[in-house]
Amino acid sequence: MNLLYEEGGDIKIATVQSASGTGDEESWQATSLSGKKIKLKAKEVWLRFEKPEAQAAMDEAGALTADIDLQLLWDCAPDEEFGLVDVAHEYFGSQASVAQQVALAIALQGAPVFFRRKGRGRFQRAPLEQLQAGLTALERKQKELEQQVVWQQELVAGTFPEVLKSSAKQLLFAPDKNTSAYKALIAACAETGEAPAQLMIRCGAIDSPLTYHQGMFLKAHFPNGAAHNPNVGIDQDAYAAAVAQLPLAQVQAFSIDDSGTTEIDDALSVTELPDGGHRVGIHIAAPGLAITKDDPLDQIARNRMSTVYFPGDKITMLPDSVIEQFSLDEGMPRPALSIYVDIDAQGVVNRDTLQMQAEMVPMAANLRLEDIEHLVSEESLLDEIANYPYRKELAILWKAAKLLHAGRQEKRIANGLRAEQLGLIDLNALARDFHFQIQDVEGVQRVEIVPRQRGSILDTIVAEWMIFCNSASGQLLADHGLPGLFRTQKGWGPLRTRMQTTTGPHEGLGLDYYAWCTSPLRRYSDLVNQWQLIALAKHGVTAKMVAPFPPRDATLMGIAADFESCYQAYGEFQDRLEKYWCLRWIMQDGESKTVHVRHLKEGMSRVELVPLHLPIPELASHPRMTRAEVVIAGVNLLQLSAGVRVLEIEAKLESPEKDLADQAEKSAPESLDSPEEDASPN
């Protein structure tokens, strides 16, 4: 005997091997068509039959099912609940065969629009209104499937459907996976073997791999777009009231940045003292005087956490109108938070003279590195007739900067670290910063990657005095029991460098205190610390009572964690786009390029002329800084990869350049706490 039953939504037939019980309690041990041993109870069985054989009945039923008219079947079915045999007699007649009944079972089970399931082998036809709605949905679904096939064919052929062009970026970066458009895209990719981005570039739906990389970043971090709301800005009445209370500083301040800098956060001044010493002023742009905790501008800055820098463009933390109002541009006094410290004639800093003041600082000049860096040297700083701006002031700052650097190195050595050498600028092409200049040449983008050596005198002056400012700010917060966002580094391991709300040493920089505060226009951590420092400058020992963040503030702890995560993600994006433009540089004059690389470690090497890191397994067994000539080809701008073929392996870089090998390895974006971070001209 054979039994018809349903399992997992499918109609199946099994052949009885043995039976037990009677009536409603009857059950069978049976074997399915697949050979599986099963047990069936009477209530699970739809139909029992002896002939034909199970497989023959299923084969014949499969052929009959396609010819069953579901609308006619619905018309034949009674209004009340019915069983399989009942409707079989209505549809096929009283002599309905087993195969015909099996075919009806398959049709009924697979037509939920026409028939509701009421139990095993029991059905009831759907009400007319629901049937009509269901049929309309089925018709719509069929049209969608037909449209999906058409779109798929167009995509495979290299044509992006016209109707989908307006939503192309959404389809790639934030798709609704239930839509026909997305299903057509995925089906086309499966047919061609391409990734979605690759296929959409081929079809002209997105411009280039660059658009893809930027789009993925914006989707993750700026889902509502990177543009600022033009209606959010500084309350001019509040700004005027805040500025009116500030004294005018008796200094002539100047900044040092490259020509591309638009957010001038910091400036310096040097004032002669009667005893032959000098008072050095570090002046930091003070948006914290007008932006207050939880106001609309604070919410914008907190959401963004930092300005995002990448080759050819940037996404600012604050609106342009705010940056223009607080950037330390030359020509007029600007609101600033100033830290002053006295140095003697030998350049020794007297930390006991440390003082802080919110004030209006006259900005006398914005010095540009491109204009004067090549003029500044040890010899020219001592030459009374050397003709470049602020020579005397730069000489004083340089003398003190060397001592500040030396003091930090003593602490590094005490922490078990190797001292960093000052002024190594010509020994190793890897120890450089790079500027990416993107130009449009006859409708084609070309990139020029311009190196700038680290360790110049101007670099060191800015770096050491900004590090001093961050250290002094951290000390002032700690001395007065104010929390802040402190950058600490201690011990070893993945969490050795971190942001925390209580003070701690930064062993890598050789400092007991370190709190970022020199870039409040472009880093939220610095703006938060500026609020705390402004409270300290205005209220002194009572600052804890009025500061925006009291000790053990949970909100501040959350900001520390969010900033760390966001800053790292932005750095990874910058690194990703720098790699993209490096690969564009490789291929912009041909399909391949011959260059020299230096092996760093574990087969990872860096191109000498640009900051491009590539795996070269052939160099894995060679010493660090081994030089090799290679050919780079097969560039894939979507995967940011390339093939490398070694032409010649040259000699290992010998000491004393080993220190610069370490610097080259640290030059990746994760090195957030190098002096260059504070000297950055971004």
Whole-number CA gyration radius for the chain? 37
Q: What are the respective helix, strand and coil percentages of the chain, to the nearest 5?
A: 40, 25, 35
Q: How far is CA 48 from CA 26, 57, 61, 90, in A?
A: 13, 12, 15, 19
In terms of phi and psi (left: phi > 0; alpha: psi -120 to 50; beta: otherwise), the region of 675 is: alpha
Contact 338, 247 (CB under 8 A): no
pLDDT tens digits along 280-313: 999 999 999 999 999 999 999 999 999 999 988 8
Q: How far apart are CA 257 and CA 633, in angstroms?
A: 37
Q: How far apart are CA 543 and CA 476, in angstroms?
A: 11
Give 398 or 657, the one with higher predicted confidence.
398
DSSP state of 248: B
Q: How far apart are CA 627 and CA 426, in angstroms?
A: 17
Q: How far apart are CA 680 and CA 223, in angstroms?
A: 28
149-163 mean pLDDT: 91
Alpha-helix runs per DSSP H in 34-83: 54-65, 70-76
| Residue for token pair 């070694």 | 646
- Please say if the pLDDT value at position 470 is more than 60: yes
Query: Which of 82-91, 227-236, 263-272, 659-668 has the highest average model confidence (pLDDT)?
Result: 263-272
Q: How far apart are CA 266 and CA 462, in angstroms?
A: 9
How high is the pLDDT of residue 233?
A: 86
How high is the pLDDT of residue 652?
A: 59
Contact 227, 257 (CB under 8 A): no
How high is the pLDDT of residue 453?
A: 66
Give 263 or 496, the one with higher predicted confidence.
263
Q: How far apart are CA 270 and CA 465, in angstroms?
A: 12
- Please say if the pLDDT value at position 450 is more than 60: yes
154-163 mean pLDDT: 90
**Nearest Cα to 674, choosing from 415, 528, 410, 497?**
497
261-273 mean pLDDT: 93
Ordered DSSP codes for 427-439: S-TTSEEEEEEEE
- Strand extents, DSSP E, 520-625: 593-601, 604-607, 613-615
How high is the pLDDT of residue 680?
A: 41
CA atoms lying within 13 Å on the CB side of residue 224: 5
Q: How far apart are CA 106 and CA 65, in angstroms?
A: 7
| Residue for token pair 């999906």 | 148
How high is the pLDDT of residue 563?
A: 93
Contact 148, 183 (CB under 8 A): yes
pLDDT tens digits along 582-605: 999 998 888 889 999 999 888 899
**Residue 371 burial (CB count, 10 A):** 12
**Nearest Cα to 347, choosing from 393, 296, 416, 385?**
393
Give 346 or 493, the one with higher predicted confidence.
346
| 8 three-class SS | coil
pLDDT tier, 479 (very low <50, low <70, confident <90, very high otherwise): very high
pLDDT tens digits along 376-431: 989 999 988 888 999 999 999 999 999 999 999 999 898 888 888 876 544 344 54
pLDDT tier, 356 (very low <50, low <70, confident <90, very high otherwise): very high
DSSP state of 97: -
Backbone phi and psi for residue 123, each to the nearest 5 degrees, phi listed first: -140, 165
- The DSSP bridge partners found for residue 511 are 506
pLDDT tier, 663 (very low <50, low <70, confident <90, very high otherwise): very low
